[in-house]
Structure formats: structure tokens, C-alpha cells
Amino acid sequence: FLDGQGLYSPDDDVVILTVHNFNKEVMRSPQAWLVEFYNSWCGFCQRFAPSWKALATDVKGWSDLVRVAALDCSVDENAGLCRELEIMAYPTLRYFHENYQPGPQTLGVVVQKGDDVVSHRHFLIQRLVAEQTEGRGTMYPNLLPYIHSDISHLFDSTPVGTQYAFLIIEKPDTYLGAEVALDLHKTPSIVVRHTFSNNTGLLNNYAIGRLPTVMSVDRSNNYQLLASSGSRQEIKTVIANFLQNKHLRVTDESPKQEIFTGKWLDVEVPDMSSLIQERARQALKERIKLMGDVVFQMDLETALRYSLKHEIATVKMITGEKLQVLRDYLNILRKYFPFGRGGQLFLTELAMKASTEQVQGSDLAEVIRRAEQEDSQVFSSPQQWLACRGSSPSYRGYPCGLWKLFHYLTVNSAERNINNNRANPLEILDVMHGYVKNFFGCHDCSQHFQEMAAKREMRNVSSLDSSVLWLWMAHNEVNKRLSGDQTEDPEYPKYQFPLKERCPLCRNNNNTWNLVEVLRYLKHAYSNINVRYIGSD
């Protein structure tokens, strides 16, 4: 039941970073690093991963200059590092230049996210050009546009053995020249430069009409307009053919790396203990399914632990609106979370920390670390998912647990304040809104939720029962949007909650909702007395 497998595997070209190798790899490195900080449970990160892998493969030939990497902030042991690096939204892309020095300001530079491999590559090149403008990135080929109107400066500052220069003339805001220069940077005896069509002097001097154009130039300034063509690959082929005629060869292959997989046995010996564990898991899964819409203490505690450790204590310094939201969050947890005495004392200690003008995430992390020690009697269960466990580690887990936690809180606030006319109907929803806005690591989800709160007039909710129903309705709206999405766990397809067979009365004959019955069902499913411990039926 252990989670924590990330979205990337050693078979991908993405370098997997962790707290253990981050400093060793990234700090004082001869290469630059482009690192994605992500959360394996975040749907946006899951949708992002294929294009990130594609980028790593696409620019594999540049890996002696810049490495494409990823670090999973949802893994417990990486949380402190993500806090130090002030990663507040997922995924976040940061560029760490070559020879990056460790120190208090080792945050790297944020790089814009693209939608696909092409836009990722363009944003990376924008960063590399900025690096060279700022005087770094000297290991890269010259990526700054050639500014002269004649070709006589193409060999300036090139190594003595450079025999040919290739000048790519292209439209502004295109990246072909830089891409080809990077792709061919290992080819000895050539230099690739680019200029844009707004270098009108050069265009006029050499009668260049079509774009992009590739021009070859030798040391004696003899030049030739090579066949112009559009794509990165086509231009490389043009250059390769030219060089072949001169008995030279393009070198764009990365040196082959032998990856040791550890598989030297021809026969796979089944691990009996893992087979037995797998059977036990299947049996437990079936049992949980049969139990229906019940809430497990283990899921609530695991969600709470994750939220405190990975979303709150990862903020370096909590102040202002965030601090107020934290206080309110701890306040409702102290009122309604199904904790014993140890847990109550733990929440009180956190609340005391949060009562000062500002609180450091690391101070909270220390309180949590002590609470997680075996003899502390705060948590009743190991940090594992039960009903929120997905069919693979990247499915379900934390977002499932967070929904359940807030449904549980709305229902328990309604139950406990049944005779309290003065209770605030937004007691839980306001905190959830603040939490999702300020701490929830899935940036996309947070945006959607805030938009939905505005569109569906969350602030007009006028009773605690309506707040239970508002959250149910909001969650169903998200379920509808995500039904069939690639982030959906195939074993747990999204549906409109509750299922008809679980609550036949919840739907009217015309398939509209019977809200009185839905409320009754929610109050039962998320009631305090129905919280199950593993082993209890």
C-alpha cells in the first residue's frame, strides 16, 4: 500500500531527482538543469508528463549542456527540499544554470510551461538566449542572433579549426537557428548561427527572398545559398549533405549510455511474498467495495498528514492570508476531525504555532515529525490510502482524500450545530475555498474550484445543510468534467454520486435529484459515527 512512485521511470530520458541526489547533481554542475517539480497525484501533472518525457527525448542530444529532470514533491522525503525551493504550485519548471552555487537563494529561475514538446523546447530556448544575454551559458553554442549585414564576422570567436559557418535566416520569433545550432553543437569544424528577417541589410546584400534560408560560408567568405526548407530536420539534412560533399560528417548522436538494469537472470523467479501480498490487497479491495460509501479513518488521517506536511509545512514562511487560512483550517479540524486526545493535542500545538505573526513551515514540520513518531499516539493508522487507493500510485490518493475530508467536515459541522441558529453556514466552505486557493498544490484544480465557487454562488449558501449539498453538487460537477479524462483511474470511473444502486431514493423518476434524500444519504455516509477503522465492518 505504499505510495510514492512518481510519474517517470528510469526508462524515460527525464532524469529523476530526489532529495538525495538533487544537490549532488544540480549544484556546481557543468551542465544546466531544467527541473519539473511535480506532484504525482495532480491531474495536471499527469497530463503534463508525456510531453515532458517527449521534451527530454527531443533534446537528448543537448544533455551535455542542459539536463531535463523531474522531482516528485509528493514524496515525503522530498517535502523539505520543495519547501526550501518554495515550490507553491505543480508543476513548476525551474532552470538552474551551470555551476549553480548552493546557498540561501538557490531557487533557480522559473521557466514558462508549454503545452507540447514544441512549446516546451521554445520556452527552454528563450531561457538559454536570456542566459547568454546575461553573460552565462558559455557552454552553449552562440544562440544570440547574428547582427551584421555582411558575412565577414561569422567566424569571429570560433575555434581555429572551424571550416564552415552556416547562417540560418528566419522569421522573427522562430527558433530554427537556435535548435539546429544546439542539435549540431557536437559537430567539429562548423559553427551554426542565425539571424532574423529584420536584418534587412543582410537580406538585401545576399538577395535572400524565401525564409528560412540556409547559407554556407567558408573562411574565405565564399558563400552558397543552400536549398531553403522549413523544418529543423530538413535543415539538418541540408547541412549534413553539404558536409558529406566536403568529406565531413555531422555528429549529433549522444554517446550511448549503458544502463545497468540489474536483469542478468534469464528466468524470472516469482517473489512469493509479493504474490501473497497482492492477493491480500485484492481481497481487501473487494471488501472495501462491498462496504459502499463509507469513510475510513485511515483515509482521513492520510489526507490530513499529506495536507499538513506537503502543502502547509512546505511553505517557507506563512504570513498574511495564508496564515489566516491556516488558523481557520486548524480551528475546524480541532472542532470536527475524528481525533483522540493525542490528535487534539497535536492540532492545538500547531494552532499555537500559527497564532504568532508569522510561522515558518519548518517549525510546523518539526511538530508533525514528532507526531509521526510511533509512540506519539496522534495517528491511529499508517500513512496509507484505503478506499482512496488507486489501481496505480498516480491515481486517486490525495485529491480523493481531500474531497472526503471536506465532505466529512461539512456534514459534521451540520450535525453538531443542528440546534445552533447562530452557526455560520459557510464555516467549512469558506475554509475549504481558502485552503484550495492558498495551499492546494494542483494549480489547475484550484483555479477551477475558485471559478466554480463564484459561478455557483458559494457565498450565498445560507444554511449548514445547504453547504453539505453545495459541496456535493460542486464535486459532481468536477466528476462530470473529468469523466473519461486520461487522469481517470480505469478501475474507478467517475460517476454522479451517489450511485443509483446505493441510494435508489436519491433520484426522482424523471432522473432529477431528490435533494432531501441526497442530504440524508450524505449525512449518513459522512457521519462521525460511520467512520470506519480498518478491520471494523
Task: By CB under 6 A, name the binding residues for ligand FAD.
Answer: 43, 293, 388, 396, 399-400, 402-404, 407, 436, 444-445, 448-449, 472, 475-476, 478-479, 482, 487, 489, 492, 497
Q: Name the minimum Å distance from CB 385 to ligand FAD.
A: 9
92/228 with CB nearer ligand FAD: 92
Neighbours of 199 (CB within 10 A): 20
The least distance separating ligand FAD from the CB of residue 301, rounded to whole angstroms, comes to: 16
Q: Shortest approach of ligand FAD to residue 452 CB, angstroms?
A: 8
The nearer residue to ligand FAD, 67 or 407, going by C-beta atoms, is 407
The CB-of-251 to ligand FAD minimum distance in angstroms stands at 43
Q: Is the peptide bond before 498 cis (omega within 30 degrees of 0)?
A: yes
Report the residue number, 167 or 332, with the smaller CB distance to ligand FAD. Answer: 332
Three-state SS letters, 348-361: HHHHHHCCCCCEEH
Pick from 200, 35, 52: nearest CA to 108: 35
Kindly state the helix (H) or strand (E) to which residue 379 belongs, with its residue range. Answer: none
Burial of 415 (0-12, 13-18, 19+ CB in 10 A): middle
Q: Which is nearer to ligand FAD, 320 or 493 (by Cβ)?
A: 493
Looking at the Cβ atoms of 306 and 339, the one nearer to ligand FAD is 306
- For residue 27, the 8-state DSSP code is B
H-run or E-run covering 92: strand 92-96
Residue 14: CB minimum distance to ligand FAD, A: 21
Shortest distance in whole angstroms from residue 472 CB to ligand FAD:
4
Three-state DSSP class for residue 469 = helix
**Secondary structure of 80-105 in the HEC alphabet?**
HHHHHCCCCCECEEEEECCCECCCCC
| CA-to-CA separations, 396 to 314, 393, 446, in angstroms, rounded | 21, 8, 17
d(CA 526, CA 509): 26
Q: With respect to ligand FAD, which residue has the nearer C-beta, 212 or 393?
A: 393
Return the number of the residue (138 or 486) whose C-beta is nearest ligand FAD: 486
**CB of residue 145 vs ligand FAD: minimum separation in angstroms?**
40
Handedness of CA 92, 3, 524, 521 (dihedral sign): positive
CA distance 270 to 334: 47
Cell of 488: 481517470
Asked if residue 94 lies in contact with residue 85, where contact means CB atoms within 8 angstroms, the answer is yes
CA–CA gap between residue 463 and residue 273 (Å, rounded): 52
Task: Indicate the residue among 362 and 447 with the shorter CB distance to ligand FAD.
Answer: 447
CB atoms within 10 A of CB 71: 26
Q: Which of 61, 57, 10 is nearest to 31 (CA)?
A: 61
Q: Which of 436, 399, 420 lies closest to 335, judged by CA?
A: 420
Q: How far is the CB of 61 from ligand FAD (least distance, A)?
A: 34
Closer CB to ligand FAD, 125 or 400, in the complex: 400
The residue number whose beta carbon is nearest to ligand FAD equals 43
The x, y and z cell numbers of residue 209, run together, are 527572398
Measured from the CB atom, the residue of 37 and 403 that comes closer to ligand FAD is 403
> Which triple of cell numbers denotes residue 251?
555528429
Query: What does the chain come to in residues?
Result: 537
Q: How far is the CB of 432 from ligand FAD (least distance, A)?
A: 7
Spatial CA neighbour of 74 closest among 440, 531, 468, 510: 440
CB of 394 to ligand FAD, least distance (A): 10
Burial class (CB in 10 A: 0-12, 13-18, 19+), 177: buried
CB 2 → ligand FAD: shortest distance, Å? 18
